[in-house]
A and B are shown apart, each in its own frame.
Chain A
Amino acid sequence: MKKPDLSVEIAGLRLRSPVMPASGCFGFGREYANHYPLRLLGAVVTKAVTLKPRLGNPTPRVTETSAGMLNAIGLANPGVEHVVAHELPWLAKQDVPVIVNVAGETKDEYVEVVRIISQSGLAAAVELNVSCPNVKAGGITFGTDARILQDLVQTVRKVCTIPLFVKLSPNVTDIRQLALAAQAGGASGLTLINTMIGMQIDIQRRRPVLANKTGGLSGPAVKPVAVRMVYEVAKVVDIPVIGMGGICSGADAVEFIMAGASAVMVGTANFTNPRACPEITAEIEQFMIEQGINSIAEIRGCIA
């Protein structure tokens, strides 16, 4: 039997595989390049980049929960100037599309960072992080108010000459409203879900485990919620949807694709298994062979 075609086309980007790492769970790729060649990925998605370097939140920043984890990294990153000078040139040599995750506290900051990334010529696409639950200013408010979101996407769109993905927060009443707002603003595609706000308490010490008190929940625990949200959003938008939230196996990834995702991102599973992304790709391929599926498009959104 001929090998199934795992490549996908999303917003004009041709990806060799539908599997890519999720932002913040893969640094800028260097650490995982020791484990496998990055060209095995559909794309590399970077850690969030902001205008100025950010130290992030106090520690502890991470803790395990049942079948998941909480993080409150706080967008720690070396700033866009450093990223463009030192990280993107290296990534550009890895023979894989690079999607740069961008965060900001103000509209102007988003615009400035996106402009620099877009003009650098070193990125294939931008992912607008409007949904980080771990920073006080900006971030989350952009991701929870449909009017503000549409305005932000519209403004950023003007300086962005490459595909623009908008990453949606699950911490909203009706995610479809935000998805439609991003689409109306001119997003090329949507990525979802970011983490869900959670909290863990150390009952011996009578205080929250995380220094930030609350953090973002990710990992297998969130998967059913994420699948449902991808399903809901894919039904109402015309632009491609990239799904994530707790994906650990090829079977998990196929659930998202059947729910309507054109591709998937893998976050927390990289920590459990540094080779998670290529292994998940191989498992999807195996499933396609077993089921006689020729292309990802064949099963995408097959759930009515």
Chain B
Amino acid sequence: MKVTVMNTAQIARKTWQLTFTGSFPYGEVQPGQFVMIRIGSGTEHVLRRPISIAAVKEDRLTIVFRVVGKGTQWLSERKPGDGLDVLGPLGKGYPLPHTGAGVLIVGGGIGVPPLYLLAERVRPLVQQLDLALGFQTAADSFWIDQFASLGNLVPAADDGSFGKKGTVIDAIKLLSEGRSPKSRPWDYVYACGPLPMLKAVKQHFAGHKVQGYVSLEERMACGVGACCGCVCQTADRTAAKRICADGPVFDWNEVAL
């Protein structure tokens, strides 16, 4: 699909947001889904880059990305009015909680963006929404006010430069301690971030009666389930799941982390 860049902005260290408009099935987007973006004409860069959908409103869609290589560098150089070739929405997103459920959302670093759309969709369904978001430093953090407006946010920074000093696990502990005895226990935990963080979160809730969902990442070629480039293994390690088509969001008991 050919879309048009509306605006871009640098929002944190090496981190940009980009909003596009134009023909795209905005109404179909589920939180946790992603788009595959063509870089340049596609001859020099033959593989599209997978980027999560951070926000979607009527006829516009926003992504947030960190510049880590040539593709994301090119994306950060787009100007309003430039064309983009995007494929999507792709993959399976986060299943929404039942009405009145207790929900905890956990994000780390550049895994945080898709959790914004998730939080927006979860908010009207639940009484209380808790959010634990971790960043390396204050300079890497973004969209803090937006997240804070949707729920009870505890940010964390590894270096203590803002929020709770430490990891998202420390933020989760703080949230647990601060909960009033009347509030509903967490029924759902939704997480996105680096693999060690996902493991730690699952580990933290071992033995708890929560339904956990994680979003996984792998280098992709087709992005639609055809090439088997992006697989992970099922929890029993006997079969493969394609992250792009069977995920990127999985029940954390379903896959080997």
Contacts and interface: CB of A to CB of B under 8 A. Distances in A.
Contacts of A61: 219, 228-231
B226 A56 contact: no
Contacts of A76: 228, 231, 240
Interface in B39-56: 42-48
| Main DSSP-derived SS at the B contact region | loop
A272 interface: yes
A120 interface: no
Nearest to A47: B228
A271 B47 contact: yes
Interface in B212-228: 218-228
Given A25-B226, A26-B226, A272 B231 contact: no
A174 B223 CA distance: 36
A269 B227 CA distance: 12
19 contacts: A27-B226, A31-B222, A31-B225, A32-B224, A61-B228, A62-B220, A62-B227, A64-B45, A67-B44, A67-B46, A69-B221, A71-B221, A71-B229, A73-B228, A76-B231, A219-B46, A271-B48, A273-B38, A274-B87
A7 B87 CA distance: 31
B224 A272 contact: no
Given A69-B221, A71-B229, A272-B38, 11 more contacts: A25-B222, A27-B222, A27-B226, A61-B228, A62-B221, A71-B227, A73-B229, A270-B226, A271-B47, A271-B227, A274-B87
A264 B80 CA distance: 39
A47 B218 CA distance: 21
A72 B48 CA distance: 18
Given A59-B219, A69-B221, A271 B228 contact: no
B239 interface: yes
Which secondary structure characterizes the binding site on chain A?
Answer: loop
Interface in B49-93: 71, 87
A253 to B, nearest CB: 15
A270 B38 CA distance: 12
Contacts of A277: none
Contact residue range for chain A? 35 or more
B46 A55 contact: no
A60 B239 CA distance: 17
Contacts of B48: 271-272
A234 B163 CA distance: 68
A274 B218 CA distance: 20
Contacts, number: 97
A61 B245 CA distance: 16
Contacts of B38: 272-273
Contacts of B222: 25, 27, 31, 270-271, 274
A91 interface: no
Interface residues of B, number: 29
B43 A25 contact: no
B239 to A, nearest CB: 7
Contact of B219 (A30, A55, A63): A63
A271 B47 CA distance: 6
Contacts of B71: 64
Nearest to A61: B229
B233 interface: yes
Given A61-B228, A76-B228, A272-B38, A220 B221 contact: no
Contact of B43 (A56, A59, A248): A248
A26 B228 CA distance: 10
A3 B231 CA distance: 44
A224 to B, nearest CB: 14
Contacts of A268: 46, 221
A61 B233 CA distance: 14
A198 interface: no
Interface in B186-238: 218-233
A69 B226 CA distance: 16
Given A56-B240, A59-B231, A61-B231, A66 B44 contact: yes
B240 to A, nearest CB: 5
A83 B232 CA distance: 21
A155 B171 CA distance: 65
A187 to B, nearest CB: 27
Interface in A5-36: 24-27, 30-32, 34
B219 A27 contact: no
Contacts of A274: 87, 222, 224
